[in-house]
Amino acid sequence: MEVDGTLLTLLGISAGILILMGWVEQIYKGYKTKRLKDVSKFLMIFIAAGSILWLLYGIIVSDVFIIGTNMSGLILMIIVLGMKKRYDIRANASQSE
């Protein structure tokens, strides 16, 4: 099948943007509710680890798109992990009062 490079690039970029938008929405929801208790810490740790490997992959094949999406994915994971830690501590503190 004759593969159209532009179509592939478009597919890859839109998929990457959609996934990032999902995490931005999760951050917004967490910020609004100040609660991320149900979000699994390991989900974010595993996804961050996966993003690091994809980042390596992107650097090796010098694909700026893969590097860009996974760098931003990694930053979003670190933000959500930080928020979750803060809100979980706060929730536990208010429970023990």
Degrees, nearest 5: CA angle 47-51-52: 120
Max Cα distance, the chain (Å) = 66
Closest CA to 31 of 76, 73, 72: 76
Site for its own copies in 36-55 (CB under 8 A): 36-40, 42-47, 49-51, 53-54
Round to whole Å and give the CA distance between 33 and 92.
Answer: 15
Positions in 57-86 near its own copies (CB under 8 A): 57, 60-62
Q: Which is nearer to its own copies, 4 or 96 (CB)?
A: 4
Which residues here bind its own copies, judged by CB under 8 A? 1, 3, 7-8, 11-12, 14-16, 18-19, 21-23, 25-26, 29-30, 33, 35-40, 42-47, 49-51, 53-54, 56-57, 60-62
